[in-house]
Structures are given as structure tokens and as C-alpha cells.
Amino acid sequence: MNSELLENSTILIVDDNPDNLDVLFDFLSDEGFEILVATGGESALEKAEYALPDLILLDVMMPPGIDGFETCDRLKQNPITKDIPVIFMTALSDVEHKVKGLRSGAVDYITKPIQHEEVLVRVGIHLRLKNLLNLYNRQNLNLQAEVEDRVFAQSALQKLTTELEQRVQERTRELTKTLEALQKSQETLLVREQSLIHSAFHDALTELPNRFYFIERLTQVMAIAYDNPNYFYIVFFIDLERFRLVNDTFGNYIGDQLLKNVAHRAKSCLRDQDTIARLGGDDFMVLLETATNIGEALAIVEKIQAQLRLPFIIQGYEVITDSSVGITISTIGYERTEDILTDVDTAMYHAKAKGKGSYEIFVPSMKTQAKEKLQIEVDLKWAIANQKFVLFYQPIIDLSTNEIYGFEALIRLKNNANEIISPAKFIPIAEETGLIKEIGWWVIETACEQICQWQKFFDVKLMMTINLSAIQLRQINLVKRLEHILNHFSLSKSLVKLEITESCLIDAASPELKVLKQLKNLGIKLCIDDFGTGYSSLSCLHEFPIDTLKIDKSFVNRIGKITGDTEVVQTIITLAHRLGMDVVAEGIETVMQLRLLKNLGCELGQGYLFAKPLPVDEATKFVETWRSQKILNI
Ligand code: C2E
Ligand code: MG
Ligand code: MG
């Protein structure tokens, strides 16, 4: 062997001549080749496929089997053996054989008789070539595998990248969504927080700052004024006149709209630096920082009051209100906000007492009166606990017969010091606190019991007129409980007349109408008290089951004094008669008033001219005296 490259190479020698085989076998074995032999074409094909030699030396003529050409052909057609180099062994003169052999796929030929050197050279060349080819193929294969691997890796990478990108996109989308949702919920939270803060410091109805806000600002301003004694501010408290009446008359919705309109009008008179707040109900508080002196401040107060005096048109109703304003000034040198609030409140009550549409600046002497109101509240609660109410009875006279028609029951309160307190003072507070319901039932029971006793005592039928406030009229159990009381005293229902205020009669759709009809069905009589001072709607007066109109004493009082006032009374009487109602005139104090009223056809009269409201024993005496003497027969 002359080259390491050929070491262990296997050569298949195919020849039908055993001598040739021997020669070649020996010689090539000596050269270090592995030798296989076959004596015919068929066995050569088998061995080649089985042993896969590195080279085949193939004889051409091998009778009787297939010849070398066919053997070569079939070797080349078999994919297993097709790459094994085949060298034909042929005679020197057989050019035709050589060409045919090369065409059938052989790589070379060796001329017979065999020359060892030639065999070695040709075998060596082709084994090297084959090895090189193998090497090349292997490398090529490796390269191809590497390329495929890379392509695979690349496509896998690509797939992975695409997948990753998709996942990233999906995740990004999810994250964006989550982020958006988070942002939204943060925004919602922020809005909610802001709205919570806003509603904590603002009044929901008017959108004005509320009490907390006002106190906060007032505290800040007081601190500024503390460090800077020249800092001037005033605080004023606006209370609407007749707001309760508006609420009772037109209902809460119109009341609310009025408050909104009031807030708007008052605010429009102020500058941005000033603060107007609604403290609740119809109470508005203003902190005025932009006025430099009291004159300027009062001009603003007057401007607001003038604005509030103008009628408000709400849902087609013309609502008229007025305001009382209590003012206090920083020069008093306040150190506590509550002192300011108390003082403006006190000043406001003074303004109220002075008359509609007034304002008052606080002075320390006012505190006594504020205490009085507080005292009434205390007295009221004490009187309820200790049953210290009494009923006074004021006679009502039938002006045509001069007989006693009946009495109006008027409540009084006896305080701890045994002083009698007027209902004008405590009834509004009893209404404010709701205590009127409890007091009202006591009045009804006491008055019914009294009329029952008089009936037994005098054997005469007297009418008992009982005042009923709007709050009482709205009690669910009113009709039933009233019926129960009347039955309890076996009292004829037609001897009880309830006096209600005009505010209960605003329109035919009001729930009070139903209650009034039920009362009427029971047989109870109904009267409108203080007629002409409230808001009753004349257009639907006829729809209410009213028996009597009571002309307010302010009209009676002016009879004969001011020209034209008799006409008002006359108009009321005519209206009542047209609607089938009778008329009571209250507050008759003079004979002239009595005569005039009689002439105008007024059926009933009540007033100091006959008698003041009397305690029960005096009222009893009054009946006795009147019946025997008929004191006033004019
Ligand atoms: P009112 O129902 O209009 O009663 C008439 C008021 O006029 C009474 O005042 C009476 O004393 C007064 N008065 C009667 N005649 C004259 C007169 O000739 N001249 C003058 N100047 N006044 C006269 P009073 O008793 O102080 O009652 C005030 C108001 O308190 C009553 O007005 C009524 O609205 C209310 N009130 C009284 N008692 C009750 C009650 O039991 N329940 C309810 N809800 N309100 C009551
Ligand atoms: Mg009355
Ligand atoms: Mg009256």
C-alpha cells in the first residue's frame, strides 16, 4: 500500500477465470487491500450490495452468466452500489469493449494481461478519487445538514420571534387595557374624591358652600384679622321671611326652587372674594371681605335685600318673600367663630322683630332677647313635661241674633315662674320642633271635653272652634283619632269647627283637600283663619269644603281708618256668600267696626269688644252673664 488513504480499502474482483482471480487476489492482498472475489455477474451484484466494496475490478466476458457490461449497468442502477467505482479488465485490443464499459458507468479499464503496476496506479487513483468524492459528499452532506439546521433553527427562531411578538402584542394590549382601566378607575376615584370633598363642603341644593366651608373660611379670616387689626370684614345672616309659609303653601319643591333662586340672586350682588354659604333651611350666611368700611358693607346688604324683595316666578307661581338680616362687624374683635354665629343670629332676630325687610347690626345689649327665645324653648319643653298648658276661650257672637255662637279655644303656656306665655311666641317654635302634634291633641281633647261640659251645664249648643296648624293637618291618623275623641265625649260633630290657615288650600291637587273632605264627611265644620293674609288660591277656593271664612283682624282693625279698607272686608264677605260660606270677623274692638260688619252682612263676630280670650271659669261666667243680659245688643 502506498498511501494511508487506501488502507483497509476493500476490492471486489470479479472474474470467471480462477487463475486471474488468484493472481490478482495475491497481488492485491499483498498490497494491503481487503479482497473479495466473485466468479460471475450475479454473485458480484449480491456481494457488492452486501459488502459494499470500495472498488470493483470487473471482467467483461463471464459466460455463461451475465457479462461485465450488464453487471456494471445493474450496479449503477442500484442506489446502494451506484457510487462504487468499477474498473473493467479487458484485452488490449478491445477498444470497443473499453468504450462500452466506460459508457455503462465504469470509471476506467485495465488492460489484460494484467500489469501489476498499472493495476496499482489505476486502483490507487480511483480509490483516492472515491475517497475524495466520499469526503466531498460527506462535507457536502454536513454542510447541507448545517444549512438545513440553520434554516430550521432560523424558521424556528422566526416562529418563536413571531410567537413572542404576538405574545408581546397581546400582553401589551392586555396591559394597555389594564392600564386604561386603572387610569379610568383612578380618574373615577379622583372625580369621586373631588365630588366627595365638594359635597362635604357644599350644599347639595344651592351648590353654595355649606356650614363647614363657611366656618373654615371664617377661621382663616379671623386669623388674618388677628395679625392685622386693620383687616375689615363683616358677617351677615340672611333669614327669609315667610319661607315656612311658602313651603307649607306651595310644597317643598317650590320651596327648594325659591332657595336656589335666592342663592343665585344674593351671590350676584357679591364679589368673588366674598363667601356666601347656606347653613341649612332658609339661613344664608355671608362673609364680606371686599368692603372697606361699614357704609360699603351696608350698601351690599341693602342691594341683596332689594333683590330678594322682587317677586320670584316659580312654576307659574309668583312667590314673594323678604329677608331679615343680622350683621356683625370685625371691629368687635372676635376670637371664636361661634361668637360670630351667635351674634349675627341675635342681630337677625332683632331685625325680624323690627319688621319685614330690615337689617340690624349686632350690639352686645341684644343678647338678652336671644336668651328670651331660648327661654321659650326651655319653657315649652318644661310645659309639655309638666302639663302646663291651659286653654283660654274667646266667645264668638252671632251678629244677627246677638247670641253666643261658640268659643275659639286659644292655648296659653304657664312657665315655671307661673307667667302666661302667648301662643304667638311659642306656637312657631312648637311647629319648628314638631311638638305641635302632641300639644295639638291635648288642645283638641281639652276643648271637646269643655264644650261637652258647657253643653251639660247650660243645656245649650255652643260651637267650639279649634286652631289646627298645617303640620297637624298632615298627620296620617288625624281623622280617625279626631272621630275617636268626639265619640268618646259623645259630642255632636257639627259642634266642632277647625280653623286652618290659607296655606293648606293652595291647589285642588294638594293632599290636604282629601283630609278636609274626610273631616267634612264626619260632619266637622271647617274655617279658614286669618283670611286675606296668606296664599290661598281664589280660583280653587270653591273646591274646598269650607264653611266659614274668618276675616283677619288686620282688615277689621282698619275699618273706618283708611279709605278703601271697608271694600276689602266687603269683598271678602261677598266672596264667602257667593261660595255658600259664612263669615267671622275677628279682632272687633269698636262698636263702629261691629255696626259696619253687621251692615255688610257679616254673620259672626269675635273680639275684645265682646271679650278677650278668657280662662275657663271666666268663660263660663261670660255665658251666664251674656245669656241673662245680652250685654251688647247693638
Ligand atoms: P288666631 O287663631 O287668629 O287667634 C286670634 C288671635 O287674635 C288670638 O291671639 C286672640 O287673642 C287675638 N284677638 C282676638 N280678638 C282680638 C282683638 O279684638 N284685638 C286683638 N288685637 N287681638 C284679638 P292669641 O290667643 O295670642 O293667639 C295667637 C295665635 O296663636 C292664634 O291666632 C293662632 O294662630 C295661634 N294659636 C292659638 N292657640 C292655638 C292652638 O291651640 N293651636 C294652634 N295651632 N294655634 C293656636
Ligand atoms: Mg284662630
Ligand atoms: Mg285669626
Nearest CA to ligand 1 atom 28: 424
- Predicted TM-score of the model (pTM): 0.56
Instruction: Check if the beta carbon of residue 19 is closer than 8 Å to that of residue 49.
Output: no
Nearest CA to ligand 1 atom 7: 587
Report which ligand 1 atom has the smallest distance to the Cα of 530.
3
Mean pLDDT to the nearest integer, 15-26: 91
Pocket, ligand 1, Cβ cutoff 6 A:
394, 409-411, 422-424, 427, 443, 467-469, 499, 529-530, 553, 586-589, 606-608, 613
Report which ligand 1 atom has the smallest distance to the Cα of 431.
44
User: Of 585, 514, 515, which Cα lies nearest the Cα of 548?
Assistant: 585
- C-alpha 500 – ligand 2 centre gap (Å): 8
Mean pLDDT to the nearest integer, 331-348: 91
Ligand nearest to the CA of 531: 3
Confidence of residue 179 (pLDDT cuts 50, 70, 90): confident
Contacts by residues 343-347 (CB-CB < 8 Å, ≥ 24 positions apart): 344/235, 344/236, 344/237, 344/285, 345/237, 345/370, 346/370, 347/237
Ligand nearest to the CA of 393: 1
Write out pLDDT tens, residues 224-281.
988 888 899 999 999 998 888 888 888 889 999 999 999 999 999 999 999 999 998 9
Tell me how far apart the alpha carbons of residues 584 and 603 are, in angstroms, rounded to a whole number: 6
- C-alpha 372 – ligand 2 centre gap (Å): 25
Tell me how far apart the alpha carbons of residues 452 and 487 are, in angstroms, rounded to a whole number: 11
Write out pLDDT tens, residues 497-535.
999 988 777 666 677 888 999 999 999 999 999 988 766
Q: Name residues with Cβ closer than 5 Å to ligand 3, which is an ion.
A: 529-530, 586
Q: What integer pLDDT is reported at residue 367 of this predicted model?
A: 79
Ligand nearest to the CA of 469: 1
- C-alpha 512 – ligand 3 centre gap (Å): 20
pLDDT(564) > 80: no
Confidence of residue 58 (pLDDT cuts 50, 70, 90): very high
- C-alpha 410 – ligand 1 centre gap (Å): 6
Write out pLDDT tens, residues 349-393.
889 877 768 999 999 888 776 677 778 888 889 999 998 999 999
Nearest CA to ligand 1 atom 21: 587
Tell me how far apart the alpha carbons of residues 286 and 273 are, in angstroms, rounded to a whole number: 11
Higher per-residue pLDDT: 429 or 575: 575
- C-alpha 502 – ligand 1 centre gap (Å): 15
Probe residue for ligand 1, chosen from 410, 446, 465, 466 as the CB with the greatest number of ligand atoms within 8 Å = 410
- Amino acid making up residue 513: L
Write out pLDDT tens, residues 311-322.
999 998 888 888
Report which ligand 1 atom has the smallest distance to the Cα of 606.
15
Nearest CA to ligand 1 atom 12: 587
∠ CA(288), CA(293), CA(299), 5° rounding? 70
422 C-beta neighbours (distance < 10 Å), count: 12
pLDDT(634) > 60: no
pLDDT(395) > 90: yes
Nearest CA to ligand 1 atom 8: 410
Confidence of residue 3 (pLDDT cuts 50, 70, 90): low
- C-alpha 442 – ligand 2 centre gap (Å): 16
Probe residue for ligand 1, chosen from 413, 432, 467, 471 as the CB with the greatest number of ligand atoms within 8 Å = 467
First-to-last CA distance in the chain? 174
User: Of 401, 398, 400, 425, which Cα lies nearest the Cα of 411?
Assistant: 425
Mean pLDDT to the nearest integer, 185-198: 84
- C-alpha 534 – ligand 3 centre gap (Å): 11
Nearest CA to ligand 1 atom 25: 410
Nearest CA to ligand 1 atom 37: 410
Confidence of residue 11 (pLDDT cuts 50, 70, 90): very high
